[in-house]
Amino acid sequence: MAADRRRARQEALVRAFEAEALDGLVVTSHANIRYLTGFSGSAAVVAITRADVLLVTDFRYDEQARAEAGGVARVEVDSTSVWDRFFKELASLGPLNALGYEAHALSVHDAERFAAAGKAWRWMPTTDLVERLRVAKDAGEVAAIRSAAQLAGEALRLTLAQVQPGMTELAIAGGARGRAAAAGQRGSSLRDHRGVGTAQRAATRALEPRAVAAGEWLLLDFGAQVDGYCADITRTVVVGARATERQRVLYGLVREAQQRARAGVRAGMSGRDADALAREPIAARGFGEAFGHSLGHGLGLEVHEAPRLSKTNPEPLPAGAVVTIEPACTSLATAGCESRTTCILRRRDRSS
């Protein structure tokens, strides 16, 4: 059984208050609340101060919140207004001056509540204080991501065995969801991302009732969740026919770029240099414009989180991050070939 890291995470956040000149942080991001307290419900506000952790939720989550977060937070439940109860309880946490709030995760309407709460506190907008802690994954988080990837991979295997020309994209996606549910376990689910699509719509990924024809590329892009942690899988196949020579060339190029990046990406290198590992061989073959997105992104409680493996990111990649490696040649001209794998960033070696 994985060690409970919630107290250590809260303590690490409190240490970050010093640099920000904060007495506490109001947490509203669902992913950050789960990371810090374990609460997985959809309605809560959390305050982390140097001495206390307060979680306020509504009546629907009374038992759930106490079971999931009661060991590391004071849980308060209100049947009328979570925010009114939150400000009432916040006043009981002792003398507090500067309180941060997650500016990137708060609606304008909810941000206005701080001004309405009066001048008892000085409100400070913050960005990514908790997200920075979430970048490096502990053993329990890695295990959950691995389990999610295994679940998604099994759903993919079962789905591909059933795909035939004439099936609609909607039917294929629905079959994947059903097979993931059948293969799942407690705390797991299929996570739709950009769905299922043919080459003509590889950039949009909007599901349609259109039938897939023999010889077409079929791109499947989805994942799964286990205990809140995400997997992210993309595979491109040719449906119901042997691949043409051009399809083989494109598939081989994307595979070559993926393998090069998997072998070379490591902690400490910049996100820009990681991206270049896959972009260079694709550009050298004349398909640079067809590789429109970045090489990859972090995985965790959200399917897209830090760090970014991108040509615009000069920052070093942190050790312990779990990232996707997903080169592509995606356009009408190149028939939408893309593939994704996942790596754990280490200093000297790489584990997938």
- pLDDT at residue number 196: 57
- pLDDT at residue number 82: 96
Give me the mean pLDDT over the 347-352 stretch: 46
Q: Is residue 44 part of a domain?
A: yes
Whether the bond between 316 and the residue before it is cis, its omega within 30 degrees of 0, is no
Among candidate residues 134, 152, 177, the one where a domain is terminated: 134
CATH code assigned at 304: 3.90.230.10
Instruction: Identify the domain containing residue 86 by its residue range.
Output: 6-134
- pLDDT at residue number 173: 79
**The pLDDT of residue 172 is above 70:** yes
Q: Is residue 1 part of a domain?
A: no
Report pLDDT digits (tens) over 47-67: 999 999 999 999 999 999 999
Report pLDDT digits (tens) over 223-267: 889 999 999 988 899 999 999 999 999 999 999 999 999 999 999
Residue 69 binned pLDDT confidence (cut-offs 50, 70, 90) = very high
- Gap between the terminal Cα atoms of the chain: 22
- pLDDT at residue number 352: 38
Give me the mean pLDDT over the 149-176 stretch: 87
**Roughly what angle, to the nearest 10 degrees, separates helices 30-37 and 6-20?**
120
- pLDDT at residue number 203: 45
Give φ, ψ of 282 to 5 degrees: -70, -45
**The pLDDT of residue 207 is above 60:** no
Give me the mean pLDDT over the 136-151 stretch: 94
Give me the mean pLDDT over the 288-309 stretch: 94
Tokens of 313: 């990111």
- pLDDT at residue number 198: 54
Same domain, 145 and 106: no
Same domain, 89 and 144: no
Q: Is residue 343 part of a domain?
A: yes
Percent of all residues in the chain with a pLDDT value above 90, rounded to a whole number: 64
Same domain, 92 and 173: no
**The pLDDT of residue 146 is above 70:** yes
Residue 350 binned pLDDT confidence (cut-offs 50, 70, 90) = very low
Tokens of 63: 């038992």
Query: Rounded to 5, what percent of the chain is helix, strand, coil?
Result: 40, 25, 35
Residue 1 binned pLDDT confidence (cut-offs 50, 70, 90) = low
Cross-strand partners of 234: 221
Rg (CA), the chain: 23
Q: In Å, what is the CA distance from 172 to each residue of 127, 161, 219, 237?
A: 39, 11, 11, 13
- pLDDT at residue number 50: 94
Residue 346 binned pLDDT confidence (cut-offs 50, 70, 90) = confident
Same domain, 276 and 322: yes
User: Average pLDDT over the chain, rounded to whole?
Assistant: 88
- pLDDT at residue number 334: 47
Among candidate residues 134, 163, 183, the one where a domain is terminated: 134
119-120-121-123 Cα dihedral, nearest 10 degrees: -20
Round to whole Å and give the CA distance between 342 and 271. 15
Q: How many domains does the chain have?
A: 2
Give φ, ψ of 105 to 5 degrees: -120, 15
Higher pLDDT, 289 or 60: 60
- pLDDT at residue number 180: 62
Cβ atoms of 300 and 134 closer than 8 Å? yes
**Cβ atoms within 10 Å, residue 161:** 8
State the Cα angle at 236 between 352 and 287, rounded to 5°: 95
Same domain, 126 and 150: no
Interacting residues of 69 by C-beta distance below 8 A, sequence separation 6+: 37, 38, 39, 55, 75
Same domain, 215 and 327: yes
Cβ atoms of 145 and 329 closer than 8 Å? no
Give me the mean pLDDT over the 191-218 stretch: 64
Cβ atoms of 41 and 57 closer than 8 Å? yes
SS3 240: coil
- pLDDT at residue number 185: 55
SS3 263: helix
**Cβ atoms within 10 Å, residue 170:** 14
Higher pLDDT, 93 or 192: 93
Round to whole Å and give the CA distance between 251 and 265. 21
Q: Is residue 299 part of a domain?
A: yes
Among candidate residues 84, 100, 134, the one where a domain is terminated: 134
Same domain, 279 and 208: yes
Same domain, 221 and 129: no
Q: Is residue 64 part of a domain?
A: yes
The edge-to-edge listing of strands for the beta sheet with 322-325 is 305-309, 296-298, 322-325, 341-345, 350-351
Round to whole Å and give the CA distance between 190 and 166. 24
Same domain, 53 and 198: no
- pLDDT at residue number 308: 96
Q: Is residue 36 part of a domain?
A: yes
Same domain, 33 and 179: no
Same domain, 18 and 118: yes
Same domain, 256 and 327: yes
Round to whole Å and give the CA distance between 229 and 301. 5
Q: Is residue 188 part of a domain?
A: yes
- pLDDT at residue number 55: 98
Residue 329 binned pLDDT confidence (cut-offs 50, 70, 90) = confident
Q: Is residue 78 part of a domain?
A: yes
CATH code assigned at 80: 3.40.350.10
